[in-house]
Every structure is written in C-alpha cells, then in structure tokens.
Structure 1
Amino acid sequence: MRIGSIGTATALIVGAALAGCASDDAKVGAPVAGGRIATATLRTPAGEEVGRVRVTEVSGGLRVTIDARLMPPGMHGTHLHAIGRCEGPAFASAGPHWNPLGTKHGSMNPAGRHAGDLPNLVIGADGRGTIGVTIPGGSFDALLDADGAAMVVHAAADDMMTDPSGNSGARIACGVLVAG
C-alpha cells in the first residue's frame, strides 16, 4: 500500500491518536527543572563496590537507574528499602521495602505493590547489568525522609508477587541514597 492511498481523514485520526499517546507518556517521567537527585554506591557485604544508583525527581514521580558490575550473572530482585543504612553482612539494617501506602509486595500482586518494588536486574555473563524505571507517584521527600533510604540487590529473581520480598533471597548488595 502506498502512503498516499491511506486517505486524509484516516491519516489525521491516526496522527491525532499517536500524538495523544506521546503527550500522555510525557507527563510522567519528564525531567523537572530543578529536580533533585540522590545517588548511592552499591557495595557487597565485604565492601566491594559493585555499582551505582541514581534517583531523579521527574514529572509525576521518581526515575531510578541502576548500573551494576562485578555481580553474579542472572536475575536479581531490586528494591528501594525504607531505611538509609547498609550494615553487613545481611544488610538487614536497610529495613523493609519502601512502602508508604502499606500495600502488599509485587507488581503482579492484586493487592498492590510496594513503591520500592523495582524490576529484576539482569546481570550478563560479563557481570554487568543496567535498569531504569520510573515510579509514578513516587515522592523524593517521602523516600528520603528522616531515616533515609537504601537500594538493595538480592541474590535471586523477584517473583513479583510473594509478600514481603518476592522470594528474592539474601541481600547481596546495598547502597545508602544520599541527596546531592
């Protein structure tokens, strides 16, 4: 089919629909002038640096980016935790997942998801992996409250449903978020 044979009315309808989608997508996650940033260095229980985390205030939420290296290959659960402490070896000091609304765990859980539930981080054979995700409705002030927050990477994949942590196993890396 030639482009010219679509018809003007059809082309206008399709164009308007696509423009509407782009407009809706731009509302959440767009950079905010003067948006705040927090960063963390991910470390193993032995103190080895294995990655960096960046949380950026964006329109309608928070953007979280994880850049990991020197980690075991496979899928790993990733979560924002409610307390800004990373005392090894188990990193239990980071507390539970960040959950300001008191919901259940997991994006596939019909009872909701924690605000700190993030996608699994896939680490390749080279020990590297990166993810970026926007948390709609996430608040910088709520995340970095009086006791701060931490990013935790788990040993196993998150099943995205089981409460409280998706059966994602031990905490193998942790980083305290610091506003900058």
Structure 2
Amino acid sequence: MKTIALVLATGLAAWAAEQNPPAKPAAKPAGGPVTHAVAVLHPAKDGKVEGTLHFRKEAAGVKVTGKVTGLAPGNHGFHIHEFGDCSAADFTSAGGHFNPAGNPHGGPKDAKRHEGDMGNVEAGADGSATIDYTDNELRFEGSQSILGRGVIVHANPDDFKTQPTGNAGGRVACGVVGVAKSE
C-alpha cells in the first residue's frame, strides 16, 4: 500500500511540474542608456489638471519640456516625488520630494536642493503652463534616477524656503516618469 501511494505521489508531482513550467526570466530592455523619458499627468479627484512632460538627456543636464492645462492662473509648485504611485485620491501615495542626497528644500537654481525641486510652473489666464528648461540635477541612472518616480504639480506656488516642501499646498496632478521611445 505504501508503494502504491509513493508511486501515485511521484506521478502526480511529475504531472504537476509539466503543467506549470518554470517562468522565463524577464526580457531585458533593448538598446543602450535611457535618453528620453515621459510623464503623463492625471488630475486629482474632481480636478481637471492634466499634461505631458518630456525629459531628454543633454550635455548640460536633462531638458524638461511639456504642457500642463486646467490650472488656476499663477504659479504652482512642480516636483519629482519619491514614488511613482498616484493611487491615492490626493496623491500622497507619491511620498515626499525625491531627495536621495538629504539636501534642504530649495529652488531649481540653488546649489543644494532636493533633486526633485523643479521650481514652479506658471499658468496663464487660460490655465495652461508651458515648461521648457534644463535641470542639471536630474538623472536617468544610479541612485539619483528619476525613472519610476512621481511628478507632482501643486495647488500653490513653491516659496523655495519653507522646509521640507516649499509650502506648495495640495497636489493637483500626478504622473510617473517612464522610459520613452527614443526619437
């Protein structure tokens, strides 16, 4: 009886192994280093702020371009946040400002600042803001990589001094920085 049970158990195990072959390793991304990333911004609950941002690697840093619409006229804090998680209705799931070096909060031209401190975007009377600047702190590689991080547009202006957030208020849009097809 024990022999029959052992034979049945062995046969069943062999059959199960055939039904569930080992998973294949994930494919490696094709090509060389990342030179272009994109973030599509989505509005907070009941909001209308949206946009698309492009991040392109250049000799002087990363060129950030794009357009954000649906904003109240005026300046709005604009930051890379720790996590690429926009799941919470108020986007707090994106965490705080991306700051791997542990620097104080500041403006985009400050010598010491959070890597994620990108300053303000200025919306005109129509609620749209055009972004076009080069940031020498942003990176696509290593521990300072912005890939997979959240991009947040805030309700209020960043004052560049209040620690640790710049007093920029609530989060009105969120997107995740992802690898884009090179052009």
TM-score tier (shorter): 0.7 to 0.9
Q: Quote the Cα distance in structure 1 between the aligned partners of 2:138 and 2:146.
A: 11
Larger CA deviation: 46-55 vs 119-128: 46-55
What is the deviation of 1:39? 0.7
Root mean square deviation, CA, Å? 2.4
What is the deviation of 1:177? 1.1
1:143 corresponds to:
145
**Percent of aligned pairs sharing the same letter:** 39
- TM superposition score normalised by structure 2: 0.71
Q: Quote the Cα distance in structure 1 between the aligned partners of 2:168 and 2:112.
A: 18
Change (3 A) 1:129 1:57: same
Counterpart secondary structure, 1:93: helix
- TM superposition score normalised by structure 1: 0.72
What is the deviation of 1:56? 1.2
Conserved in 2, the CA contact under 8 Å of 1:79 and 1:153?
A: yes
Q: Deviations 1:149-180 (Å, cap 9, x if unpaired)?
A: 11100000000111111000001100111102
1:96 corresponds to:
96
Q: Quote the Cα distance in structure 2 between the aligned partners of 1:110 and 1:68.
A: 24
- The reply to whether residue 50 of structure 1 matches residue 50 of structure 2 is yes
Unaligned runs of 5+ in 2: 1-32
- The reply to whether residue 67 of structure 1 matches residue 67 of structure 2 is yes
Q: Deviations 1:92-127 (Å, cap 9, x if unpaired)?
A: 111111112110001299882111111211111111
Change (3 A) 1:72 1:88: farther
Q: Quote the Cα distance in structure 2 between the aligned partners of 1:165 and 1:109.
A: 16
The AA in structure 2 aligned to 1:45 is: A
The AA in structure 2 aligned to 1:149 is: R
1:130 corresponds to:
130
Q: Quote the Cα distance in structure 2 between the aligned partners of 1:117 and 1:43.
A: 20
The AA in structure 1 aligned to 2:145 is: L
Change (3 A) 1:162 1:111: farther
The AA in structure 2 aligned to 1:65 is: T
Q: Number of residue pairs matched?
A: 146
Q: Quote the Cα distance in structure 1 between the aligned partners of 2:41 and 2:34.
A: 23
Q: Quote the Cα distance in structure 2 between the aligned partners of 1:178 and 1:105.
A: 24
Larger CA deviation: 95-104 vs 128-137: 128-137
Larger of the two Rg values belongs to structure: 2
Q: Quote the Cα distance in structure 2 between the aligned partners of 1:118 and 1:45.
A: 20
